[in-house]
Amino acid sequence: MMNIVTTLQKDRFTPRYYVAALTDSMSLQKAQVYEQSLVRVEADKEETLENAQFMQIYRSREVGQSYITSIATTLLATLHAMWLIIRIRPQVIFCNGPGTCIPLCASAFLLKVVGLGWSSIFYIESIARVKKLSLSGLLLYKLRIVDQFIVQWPQLQQKYPRAHYAGRLM
């Protein structure tokens, strides 16, 4: 994900909101380090810091959690995601696969359906997926929730013709 963010034209994609799972502090830390490095380059501290925000979201289900309690946590995660999407009103969403992106994409999609917002949703499948999509990827592909579905291996694109392949990111 950070490979894409660092390559994107920052003046076009501003402000940036980074969302990661509550149990995943590594990803946000990476994003924070990157945004800090932009501040130094531009020497315009206040403005750039305003351009980036970092937030965490509840996970639908932790590894090993029971199915009964995961109904409640999924509901909580979905409401939280909906609230974030309504608050941020993103025009572009990039996501790269963990289950946390499903409620976010679904919320953004729902807002589009009812005409309350418009966002372009890009999904980038993990490079670890060579022959089969991940469960999140498969769901978003089949339900046609995302606008552009990007995979990192040509054989995966052949299997899922609506997907795009434009080389590897790593």
Partner 1 sequence: MGDRGRRMVFVTVGTTCFDALVKAVDSEAMKEALLQKGYTDLVIQMGRGTYMPSKVSGSSTLQVDYFTFSPSIADYIREASLVISHAGSGSIFETLRLSKPLIVVVNEDLMDNHQSELAEELAERKHLFCARPQTLREAVEAMDLTALQPYEPGDAKPVVTLINKFLGFPVG
Which residue ranges make up the site for partner 1 (CB under 8 A)?
3-4, 6-9, 12, 92, 94, 120, 122, 124, 126-132, 134, 147-148, 150, 152-153, 164, 166-170
DSSP letters of 87-112?
HH--SEEEE-S-TTHHHHHHHHHHHH
Place of tokens 């799972």: 21
What is the helix (H) or strand (E) element at residue 113, kind and residue range?
Answer: helix 101-113
Closest CB to partner 1 among 139 and 169?
A: 169
d(C-alpha 163, C-alpha 142), whole Å: 11
* Least Å from the CB of residue 74 to partner 1: 19
Q: Which of 92, 10, 37 is nearest to 29 (CA)?
A: 37
Closest distance to partner 1 from the beta carbon of 133 (Å): 10
DSSP state of 150: E
Nearer to partner 1 (CB atom), residue 51 or residue 80: 51
Q: Given the complex with partner 1, which of 127 and 143 has the nearer CB atom?
A: 127
Rounded distance between C-alpha atoms, residue 148 and residue 120, angstroms: 8
> 73 or 134: whose CB is closer to partner 1?
134
- Give the nearest distance from C-beta 132 to partner 1 in angstroms: 7
The residues pairing with 165 across neighbouring beta strands, listed in sequence order, are: 151
CB of residue 96 to partner 1, shortest distance in Å = 11
